[in-house]
């Protein structure tokens, strides 16, 4: 189970995690510039002019599973950003070893938005993005008894055996923001802002045995749930959830003076990911399990919205 969750996490976050890992090293707390700042303030609001966007969607399924959703979308006229998806999975029939009962449904959508802007002075500027987010989501998982596991004890020398049953429901909605100097194609001299709202819940009954000189077996059984908000440079976002609405500010700034004559861009991203998983391996009989996950950030007033971009 843990192996799959690791793989699932890599898949779910492959599009935006690269920026996140690099940004962690740069993360500093950003505060608004004092009222007596030496340089003027510029405010951008909808309709946002000269923007560009790159929407995308990725999906996959295995065994008895299904997925659906919409690719991310940016509306410059209003500042709205949308995306949604769902995945379901259930065990089907009887497997042989690890073959025949590996069932998952995965959907992710993303839209990357470029908002160009200028700075009026060469100085250390901060950019505040006021954002609203509204999400409606659902998750569920169910399971029967895990049949007797087929493991040998002690396992043969220099061998590893794994057997068990698992169900998993995973939801993620994430926002990311950073600055890019288009004149020299650099972004690493600015801080990074992110908000990640997630729920990773399920059940597993897993046995692992190995023998690399001393035989050993371990078992993990029970429900698990990891949910909450992970954020950086985004005060107020801790109140967000996968069912509800929130408004907050994402801050990103320069760590060195921003040249007045350069062309600047705010890179803003909305990412959603839904994953459902039901699995049985090396068990003596059928396992009944199912899972589902969905997130709506696209219809009935749901989605994200950039209310304003303030350069100070």
pLDDT tens readout for residues 61-93? 999 999 999 999 999 999 999 999 999 999 997
How many helical (H) and strand (E) elements, i.e. helices and strands, does the chain have?
2, 13
Q: Whole-prediction pTM value?
A: 0.84
pLDDT attached to residue 118: 92
> 33 is in which domain, residue-wise?
2-311
**CB neighbour list of residue 174: distance below 8 Å, 6 or more residues apart:** 16, 194, 195, 196, 197, 269, 270, 271, 272
Helix then strand then coil, in percent of the chain rounded to 5, is 5, 60, 35
Q: What whole-number distance in Å separates Cα of residue 210 and Cα of residue 185?
A: 50
Q: Please count the structural domains in the chain.
A: 1
pLDDT tens readout for residues 86-95? 999 999 977 7
Backbone angles phi, psi at 120, to 5 degrees: -90, -15
């Amino acid at each position: 189970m843990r192996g799959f969750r690791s793989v699932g996490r890599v898949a779910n976050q492959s599009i935006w995690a690269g920026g996140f890992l690099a940004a962690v090293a740069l993360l500093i707390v950003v505060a608004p510039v004092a009222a007596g700042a030496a340089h003027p303030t510029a405010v951008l609001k909808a309709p946002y002019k000269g923007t560009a966007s790159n929407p995308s969607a990725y999906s996959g399924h295995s065994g008895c599973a299904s997925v659906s959703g919409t690719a991310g979308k940016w509306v410059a006229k209003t500042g709205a950003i949308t995306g949604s998806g769902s995945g379901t999975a259930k065990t089907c029939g009887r497997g042989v070893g690890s073959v025949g009962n590996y069932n998952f449904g995965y959907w992710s959508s993303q839209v990357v938005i470029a908002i160009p802007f200028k700075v009026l002075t060469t100085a250390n500027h901060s950019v505040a993005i006021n954002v609203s987010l509204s999400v409606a989501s659902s998750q569920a998982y169910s399971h029967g008894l895990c049949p007797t596991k087929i493991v040998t004890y002690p396992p043969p020398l220099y061998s590893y055996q794994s057997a068990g049953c698992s169900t998993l429901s995973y939801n993620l909605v994430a926002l990311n923001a950073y600055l890019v100097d288009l004149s020299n194609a650099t972004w690493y001299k600015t801080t990074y802002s992110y908000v990640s709202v997630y729920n990773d819940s399920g059940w597993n009954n897993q046995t692992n045995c190995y023998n690399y000189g001393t035989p050993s077996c371990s078992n993990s059984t029970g429900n698990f749930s990891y949910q909450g908000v992970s954020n950086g440079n985004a005060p107020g976002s801790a109140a967000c959830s996968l069912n509800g609405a929130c408004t907050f500010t994402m801050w990103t700034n320069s760590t060195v003076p921003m040249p007045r004559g350069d062309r600047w861009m705010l890179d803003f991203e909305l990412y959603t990911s839904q994953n459902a998983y039901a699995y049985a391996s090396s068990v003596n009989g059928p396992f009944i399990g199912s899972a589902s996950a969905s997130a709506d950030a696209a219809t009935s007033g749901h989605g994200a919205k950039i209310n304003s971009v303030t350069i100070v």
